[in-house]
């Protein structure tokens, strides 16, 4: 494979990567993601999400002359999305729809004993008028009592821009251009009006307390063991349902 074929969009994902050959986009699935991919396909989660148009459909293909075979499990060809857009291009409602889709996907994944490991807004595209997840490798096997690894990412990619647009100014969504990993929580906490701290169930927990806790535990001296925190499936469902209500309440 020529290095030119590899696309930089999936550079961080250890489960696989995207490449282009003769103008067609493919995705390699690495051997390390075998169990997760097989579970996604055999459990019925893939079929259900594709039927509901929440996940991009794909077909398994063979690409000849492929040069990265030592780590290759499968190659898939996802359905082509004609127009690629980014979160900072979207309207307020599109961002809201993408956030709700992400929560929907997390909810469905839990029902099939899987978890959405990645809640990046860049994994959502608008295809045929609806938001759809384009990263097939975003699902992981569910491990009981293990916290949702994408929680912070969901807050920074969706809740913070929506909160800033709703309570301060819609132009602040453009901060996503500068912060590709999502708008930092401490910045959001400073920008949001003081009265938002009084909303304990919403902004209080999601942004202000989250930002303070991040700051407190960012120093090595705290030496906190993450494994001590246990968050079971029901608690994760509570977070998903709570945030679905919270996101639906955002208005411009």
Partner 1 sequence: MDTFLAKANLYLDPGSGSIIAQLLAATVLGFGILLRVFWKRITGFFTCNKITSVVENNNEESNNEQ
Return residues touching partner 1 (CB under 8 A). 12-15, 117-118, 147-153, 155, 200-201, 204-206, 209-210, 213-218, 222, 224, 226, 229, 231, 235-236, 238-239, 241-243
- Whole-number minimum distance, CB 244 to partner 1, in Å? 11
Give the span between the Cα atoms of 81 and 127, in whole angstroms. 6
Instruction: Please report how close the Cβ of residue 168 comes to partner 1 at its closest, in angstroms.
Output: 21
Q: Cβ 59 to partner 1, closest distance in Å?
A: 25
Cβ-based burial of 53 (10 A; exposed 0-12, middle 13-18, buried ≥19): middle
The per-residue DSSP string of 3-27 comes to GGGB-GGGTT-TTEEEEEETTEEEE
| In the complex, minimum distance from the CB of residue 39 to partner 1, in angstroms, rounded to a whole number | 17
Assigned token pair, 235: 């608690």
Closer by beta carbon to partner 1, 77 or else 214: 214
Residue 209 to residues 181, 201, 206, 242, Cα–Cα distance (Å): 20, 11, 7, 16
Closer of 48 and 146 to partner 1 (Cβ):
146
Would you say 209 and 201 are in contact if contact means Cβ atoms under 8 Å apart?
no
Minimum distance, C-beta of residue 137 to partner 1, in the bound complex (Å): 10
3-state secondary structure of 126: strand
């Amino acid at each position: 494979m020529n290095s030119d074929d590899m696309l930089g969009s999936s550079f961080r994902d250890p489960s696989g990567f995207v490449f282009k050959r003769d103008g067609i986009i493919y995705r390699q699935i690495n051997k390390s993601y075998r169990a997760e991919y097989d579970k996604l396909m055999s459990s019925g989660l893939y079929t259900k999400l594709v039927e509901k148009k929440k996940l991009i459909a794909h077909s398994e293909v063979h690409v000849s002359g492929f040069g990265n075979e030592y780590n290759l499990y499968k190659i898939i060809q996802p359905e082509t999305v004609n127009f690629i857009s980014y979160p900072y291009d979207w309207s307020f409602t599109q961002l809201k729809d993408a956030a709700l889709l992400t929560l929907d996907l997390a909810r469905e994944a839990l029902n099939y004993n899987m978890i959405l490991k990645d809640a990046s807004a860049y994994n959502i595209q608008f295809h045929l008028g609806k938001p759809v997840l384009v990263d097939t490798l975003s699902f992981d096997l569910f491990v009981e009592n293990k916290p949702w690894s994408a929680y912070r990412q969901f807050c920074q990619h969706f809740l913070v821009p929506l909160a800033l647009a709703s309570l301060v100014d819609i132009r602040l969504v453009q901060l996503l251009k500068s912060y590709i990993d999502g708008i930092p929580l401490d910045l959001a906490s400073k920008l949001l009006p003081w009265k938002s701290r009084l909303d304990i169930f919403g902004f209080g927990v999601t942004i202000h307390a989250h930002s303070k806790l991040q700051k407190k535990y960012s120093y090595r001296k705290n030496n906190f063991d993450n494994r001590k925190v246990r968050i079971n499936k029901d608690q994760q469902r509570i977070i998903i349902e709570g945030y679905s209500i919270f996101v639906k309440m955002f208005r411009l």
